[in-house]
Chains A and B, each alone.
Chain A
Amino acid sequence: MISPIHIISIGLGTAFALGFLNKKSNGLAVSLMLVAIALMAAVSSSWFIKLYQGAEAIEVYTAGFKPPYSINLRMGLNEALLSSLINLAGFLGGLYMFKNLKNTGKHAIMVFLVFVMGLNVIILTRDAFNLFVFMEVVSIATAGLIILIQDGKSIQAGFKYMIATGIIAGIFLLGIIFAYYFSGSLNIDDISNSNLLAFKGGSVAVLMIIVSVVLELKPFPANGWALDVYEASDPGIAALISAASATAMYFVLFKLMPIADLQWYKIISTAGLITFVGSNLFGLKQTGARRLLGYSSIGQLGLLMTILGLKPFLGDKFEYIAITILISHYLAKAGLFWIAGLLKKDKLKDWALLRKKPLFLVLFGTFVFSLIGFPPFPSFFGKWELIMSLSQQGLYFTLAMILTGSFLEGIYLFRWLGYAIKMESNESWTFKLEWNKVIPPVLFGILVYLAGYYSSTFAENFNGLYFIALAFILIIYLLDFLPAAVKNILSILSLALVSWYMLPGLYSEDMLRFIFTLIFLVGGILTFIAGFAYKGKREGFYPVALLMYAGLAIIIRASTTLEFFFGWELMTAGSYFLIIRGKKSMAHGLSYMLFSMAGAYAILAAFGLSFAETASIQLSSLAAVGGNITVIFSLLAIGFMTKTASLGLHIWLPGAHAEAESDVSPMVSAILLKAGVFGLMILMIAMGNNPEATRVAYVLGWLGALTALVGNLAAAFQEDAKRLLAYSSISQLGYILFALAMMSHLGWMTAMVYSINHFLYKSILFLTIGAVVLKVGTHYMYKMGGLIKNMPLAFIAVLIGIIALAGVPPLSGFAGKWLFYNAVIDKHWYFQGVIVFFSGIIAFLYLFKLIYSVFLGQLKDNLRHVKDISIWFAIPIYILIIGLMIFSAKPDLVLKPLGEMISVWYPNAGLSWEGGLATAPYGYWNGTGVMITIGIMFMALLGWLLLLSSKAVKVGQFNIVYSAEAPQRPETTHVSYNIYAGYNKALGWMVAPKITEFWDTMSDWAHSLAEYGRRLYSGNGQVYTTYVLAYIIAFYLIMIF
């Protein structure tokens, strides 16, 4: 093995040697520099491999003496890992800046090399003074690199940086000298062993050392200088500062913490937490990419600092948590800065330009998701362990703050991602890609996935098979150049394969999961069939749709809370991208994401609390929760209700569903929402029998009833057909929530029947209306009308859909209603029951409006030649109709086994079956019989009508005497426009957008807080210096009290 000291000698030697090069051979100089860094990387990574395989850490004594007589370096596993990371970033960063360095000349190249070398020494050295020297070397090198681009801003930033770090380094030096004075050694281990805190002066030494290293980590609010550096320096340099320097400085704090005591750990964790939350809050108001990344970098460092401060509480989990989060930050932040450098547009809104190079859009998304801690990235697993450990230790406040900070970070990062995906873009812009600038971010993008997989192998009870699904999605992504039809076939096959694999086992074992699998996966296949209607490549659609289905399949299969959460987050990510694909969906995508994130954090916190009680992450262990049950139950319910879009958490839904593409609407409505239902069922199965949970469920019941009412009422006032269906989904999910909350046999039967029904008819309706919209080119119902003759297939589908939705016999909607009334009577929830009953009547209003305004009435001139819906939509629609018919005629096929399953939890007051005849405590019902009776009545009536119609007078369209509508007049006179104005006058107040206003106000407050807060950073270098000193004094005051 090559001694680690040669990392330094290679770096320094090459830097000196470069001085001998001819002035003109700058290209050669950069190449030599890269070779040198590559060699350094080779040395450090070879050590990493060796140490990883179990070799002992080694010490290098530089002058042949043992410390304290000489400086010693240590190469342990952590050191090897971090120095490899630094050298990798240095190499790629150098490659990225090849031209820049070449044009600036060999002095810049030398400085760059010294910078990388200095960071290595900072990692390796165990000598405090040596540490100081190389921190100064790096600081000077950084100041040199900041002015690689010489504009006014970078010079200003560099000067502020120098003054601030100059003072910080001075304080650090003072601390070291005092530490030496009291311990008699400069060796860090000797200093830690000498128990400095026992001396009065010694604790001042500890203060000065720790506070100055903390200051190097840019704590809020003493970090104005750092923000400026991130904003003004070359993005290539900012990438290195954010990834490599921060990594090194973090390790310094890690190295030096042993000189302090528990009290100091607490201070560090608080300082980090304040930074994490403060920085991410101020990030909300940023409009420039690089400054935003600066805020985000500082926030992430704050999080890392918190984790270090929590080290005594995290025990042996500390390294895993710190390294996973550090690596995610390292890869993502460098990648983002590199992309920022490629794009050369600093305004966030201009990032729409990124769409021109889809690869970079994907990388951008990857980095954003890995920063926030989504699966499959390392930070997901790190954050999971962190939250579990925090709740185990009872550190609830820290837990809540970390989730708050992450949420704030999510707001601005996802808004930014939304801009890149959807913002209007100036078409004339373009950006050039040079290979040396492409390789680094691409490589880091690949690495972050690999690191994610690797991190997952450490997680307990985590099924690595789930990564196969992700690998498949990756393949689909790589095949994105193929026509949509091919990818569609592959996607259908993959879902079919998974269904084939999952369904048979579930049918006999777990009816609940069987039904949800049917809804998720078979529903997925059917909606994919509609995708054949789309021509072209449909870029990016299939990977994200499959991602959502993979997430859904995983939550079914999950046996641990970790797996469940993993699937949940994948599903969220996939559906986010599906939703934001819609034409005007930028804002809807964001609000969906924010509600989902908040919900996911509620779920995460609840899983943490449950782990703290039961010491198990098995999903089944939720049932063993006793103490905190109200909190855990409520948090989980809130989390799941963000997906079921219950009242208060529903504002994302109408826009998201209405603006989505025609075949996506059913995916995110009929299918996705059921994930929330599934979650609620899992929750209630586990905890439902507890009296405290029952109390929460009572509230949920009311919430469900009100959701049903408000959803239906709002649906009745819509002019947009897809919005109408979206509000209708909200209310249907309200029914389901209500039924679930009853926590009785019949209640659950109702919930399941409603879930199946909603899946069936909402898929039918959304697919049909979506297909109609594709043909007529508008969502607005008053612009349609009279389409019955042009689109008989669509008309029949909608007719059947609304019959099922309305709960009128003979279709299965009636079965749901019948069960519902039985359940309500059984449960004595009369008040709520009346509300739901009332909202059921309102449903007739919008259903009538839907079918009347679209298919009946006057045919519009421009739609005279419109054809029926695409066959590719008709196929899944009619398959679903057949399914609906079977379910309506033979409900016992599903309900019998379902009843048996529910009896496990609620043995009493179920249905008793005799063939197709179901008997409940309050009546009986026979699906087949109802179907036959109604069928006969229908045929009889139809025959009667046909008989009569032979005498009827045919009325032409323009015979306005008969048709009750003036053709070709503005839509305001259209009979179906604002058809329920009267109801609106009476009941409209109930659907006034109060809740939307509430959330808007919350958002405004957060943004104004950020706006005022960030004025702390006045831009004045002197003020920043004052903050630094004030920070030191604050630490001192905390220490003495």
Chain B
Amino acid sequence: MEYVSLTIGFIVIIAGLWAIMTNRNILRMIIGFSIFDTGLHIVIVSLAYVKGGTAPILDSAVGINEAIDKIVDPVPQALVLTAIVIGLGVTALMLAYAMKLHKEKKSLDIMSFRDLKW
């Protein structure tokens, strides 16, 4: 069972990529990117999981000496916060771009933005 969340994470990543590649609507592509990002976050957190582990808080429940066996790895949890923030920034900027693109051609179809090619 410990791989459930990891598997789900990968499925979400692939679903996100699928969404980016199959939807011509820019907003849907951005949503796809968000899903992809979320999948990444799930994978990061799942990797840190230790079977039967508890939250990485050192208190009366978990002493310093036994911490290494009993708590889940706190580092990825810290990392994922950063990753979420960055993902937010990227998504926001993408949305700003989507707005500009829409203003430009009154369309959100990625196929209408092919002025630069070859």
Q: Is the CB of A136 within 8 A of B90?
A: yes
Q: Mark B53-82, 1 if CB is under 8 A from A, else 0.
A: 000000000000000000000011001001
Say how far A234's CB is from chain B's closest CB, in angstroms: 15
Task: Decide yes or no whether A156 CB sits under 8 A from chain B.
Answer: yes
Q: Is the CB of B116 within 8 A of A1019?
A: yes
Q: Is the CB of A170 within 8 A of B36?
A: yes
Most chain A C-beta atoms within 10 Å of own C-beta, residue among B24, B86, B105: B86
Q: Is the CB of A231 within 8 A of B116?
A: yes
B10 closest partner in A (C-beta): A174
Of B47, B94, B111, which one neighbours A159 at CB under 8 angstroms? B94
Task: Decide yes or no whether B83 CB sits under 8 A from chain A.
Answer: yes
Task: Decide yes or no whether B15 CB sits under 8 A from chain A.
Answer: no
A181 closest partner in B (C-beta): B47
Which one of A160-168, A415-423, A516-524 contacts B? A160-168
Task: Decide yes or no whether A200 CB sits under 8 A from chain B.
Answer: no
Of B43, B75, B118, which one neighbours A1015 at CB under 8 angstroms? B118
Q: Is the CB of A156 within 8 A of B116?
A: yes
Q: Which of A158-187 contact B (CB under 8 A)?
A: 158-159, 162-163, 166-167, 169-170, 173-174, 177-178, 180-181, 186
Say how far A671's CB is from chain B's closest CB, in angstroms: 44
Q: How far is the CA of A20 from the CA of B24 in the complex (A)?
A: 41
Cβ–Cβ < 8 Å partners of A147 in chain B: 97, 100
Of A158, A169, A173, A1019, which one neighbours B114 at CB under 8 angstroms? A1019
Q: Is the CB of A173 within 8 A of B21?
A: no
Task: Decide yes or no whether B31 CB sits under 8 A from chain A.
Answer: no
Q: Is the CB of A163 within 8 A of B75?
A: no
Q: Which of A993-1041 contact B (CB under 8 A)?
A: 1014-1015, 1017-1022, 1025-1026, 1029
Q: How far is the CA of A1017 from the CA of B117 in the complex (A)?
A: 6
With A129-B79, A162-B94, A1019-B114 in contact, is A152–B43 under 8 Å at CB?
Answer: no
Secondary structure of the B contact surface, majority rule: helix
A155 closest partner in B (C-beta): B100
Q: How far is the CA of A671 from the CA of B113 in the complex (A)?
A: 56
Cβ–Cβ < 8 Å partners of A157 in chain B: 116
With A162-B94, A167-B36, A170-B37 in contact, is A1025–B21 under 8 Å at CB?
Answer: yes
Q: Is the CB of B100 within 8 A of A177?
A: no
Q: Is the CB of A155 within 8 A of B94?
A: no
With A167-B36, A1022-B110 in contact, is A156–B21 under 8 Å at CB?
Answer: no
Q: Is the CB of B104 within 8 A of A152?
A: yes
Say how far A942's CB is from chain B's closest CB, in angstroms: 72
Q: Is the CB of A155 within 8 A of B97?
A: yes
Task: Decide yes or no whether A901 CB sits under 8 A from chain B.
Answer: no
Q: Which of A204-254 contact B (CB under 8 A)?
A: 227-228, 231-232
Q: Is the CB of A163 within 8 A of B43?
A: no
A1014 closest partner in B (C-beta): B118
Q: Is the CB of A228 within 8 A of B116?
A: yes
Q: How far is the CA of A722 from the CA of B113 in the complex (A)?
A: 54
Cβ–Cβ < 8 Å partners of B94 in chain A: 159, 162-163, 166
Q: Is the CB of B21 within 8 A of A1029?
A: yes
Q: How far is the CA of A1025 from the CA of B36 in the complex (A)?
A: 13
Task: Decide yes or no whether A791 CB sits under 8 A from chain B.
Answer: no
- Inter-chain contact total with CB atoms closer than 8 Å: 113
Cβ–Cβ < 8 Å partners of B40 in chain A: 170, 173-174
A287 closest partner in B (C-beta): B118
Q: Is the CB of A177 within 8 A of B101?
A: no
With A129-B79, A143-B93, A167-B20 in contact, is A152–B105 under 8 Å at CB?
Answer: yes
Q: How far is the CA of A751 from the CA of B117 in the complex (A)?
A: 55
Say how far B3's CB is from chain A's closest CB, in angstroms: 12
Q: How far is the CA of A170 from the CA of B42 in the complex (A)?
A: 12
Q: Is the CB of B115 within 8 A of A153?
A: yes
Task: Decide yes or no whether A150 CB sits under 8 A from chain B.
Answer: yes
Q: Is the CB of A173 within 8 A of B83?
A: yes
Cβ–Cβ < 8 Å partners of A167 in chain B: 17, 20, 33, 36
Task: Decide yes or no whether A285 CB sits under 8 A from chain B.
Answer: yes
Say how far B36's CB is from chain A's closest CB, in angstroms: 6
Say how far B41's CB is from chain A's closest CB, in angstroms: 9
Q: Mark A122-149, 1 if CB is under 8 A from B, else 0.
A: 0000000100010010011001100100
Q: Is the CB of B43 within 8 A of A1021?
A: no
Cβ–Cβ < 8 Å partners of B116 in chain A: 153, 156-157, 227-228, 231-232, 291, 1019
Cβ–Cβ < 8 Å partners of B105 in chain A: 152
Cβ–Cβ < 8 Å partners of B37 in chain A: 166, 170
Say how far B4's CB is from chain A's closest CB, in angstroms: 17
Q: Is the CB of B26 within 8 A of A159?
A: yes
Cβ–Cβ < 8 Å partners of A156 in chain B: 101, 104, 113-116
Q: Is the CB of B21 within 8 A of A1022?
A: yes
Q: Is the CB of B100 within 8 A of A1020?
A: no
Cβ–Cβ < 8 Å partners of B75 in chain A: 180, 186
Cβ–Cβ < 8 Å partners of B26 in chain A: 159
Most chain B C-beta atoms within 10 Å of own C-beta, residue among A143, A178, A186, A1022: A1022
A144 closest partner in B (C-beta): B93
Q: Is the CB of A155 within 8 A of B114?
A: no
Cβ–Cβ < 8 Å partners of B43 in chain A: 174, 177
A135 closest partner in B (C-beta): B86
Q: Is the CB of A1021 within 8 A of B110?
A: yes
Q: Is the CB of A155 within 8 A of B104?
A: yes
Q: Mark A741-765, 1 if CB is under 8 A from B, else 0.
A: 0000000000000000000000000
Cβ–Cβ < 8 Å partners of B100 in chain A: 147, 150, 155
Q: How far is the CA of A228 from the CA of B113 in the complex (A)?
A: 12
Q: Is the CB of A163 within 8 A of B93?
A: no
Cβ–Cβ < 8 Å partners of A1025 in chain B: 20-21
Cβ–Cβ < 8 Å partners of A231 in chain B: 116
Say how far B43's CB is from chain A's closest CB, in angstroms: 6
Cβ–Cβ < 8 Å partners of A173 in chain B: 40, 44, 83
Q: Is the CB of B115 within 8 A of A1022?
A: no
Most chain A C-beta atoms within 10 Å of own C-beta, residue among B21, B47, B118: B118
Q: Which of B90-111 contact A (CB under 8 A)?
A: 90, 93-94, 97-98, 100-101, 104-105, 110-111
Say how far A196's CB is from chain B's closest CB, in angstroms: 14
Of B76, B79, B89, B113, which one neighbours A1021 at CB under 8 angstroms? B113
Say how far B38's CB is from chain A's closest CB, in angstroms: 11
Q: Is the CB of A178 within 8 A of B47?
A: yes
With A133-B82, A152-B104, A170-B36 in contact, is A180–B76 under 8 Å at CB?
Answer: yes
Most chain B C-beta atoms within 10 Å of own C-beta, residue among A140, A155, A227: A155
With A1019-B114, A1019-B117, A1021-B113 in contact, is A162–B97 under 8 Å at CB?
Answer: yes
Say how far B102's CB is from chain A's closest CB, in angstroms: 10
B98 closest partner in A (C-beta): A159
Q: Is the CB of B20 within 8 A of A140?
A: no
| Given pairs A163-B94, A178-B47, A1020-B111, 14 additional interface contacts (CB within 8 A) | A133-B86, A152-B115, A156-B113, A156-B115, A166-B37, A167-B17, A177-B76, A181-B47, A232-B116, A291-B116, A1017-B117, A1019-B118, A1020-B110, A1026-B21
Q: Jot down 30 A-B pairs with beta carbons below 8 A, ordered by A.
A: A133-B86, A140-B86, A147-B97, A152-B104, A152-B105, A155-B104, A156-B116, A157-B116, A158-B97, A159-B97, A159-B113, A163-B33, A166-B36, A166-B94, A167-B20, A174-B43, A177-B47, A177-B76, A177-B79, A232-B116, A1015-B118, A1017-B117, A1018-B114, A1018-B117, A1019-B114, A1020-B114, A1022-B110, A1026-B21, A1029-B17, A1029-B21
| 6 A-B pairs with the lowest CB-CB distances in the bound complex, closest first | A1019-B117, A1019-B114, A228-B116, A156-B113, A159-B97, A1014-B118
B interface vs A, CB < 8 Å? 13, 17, 20-21, 24, 26, 29, 33, 36-37, 40, 43-44, 47, 75-76, 79, 82-83, 86, 89-90, 93-94, 97-98, 100-101, 104-105, 110-111, 113-118
A interface vs B, CB < 8 Å? 129, 133, 136, 139-140, 143-144, 147, 150, 152-153, 155-159, 162-163, 166-167, 169-170, 173-174, 177-178, 180-181, 186, 227-228, 231-232, 285, 291, 1014-1015, 1017-1022, 1025-1026, 1029
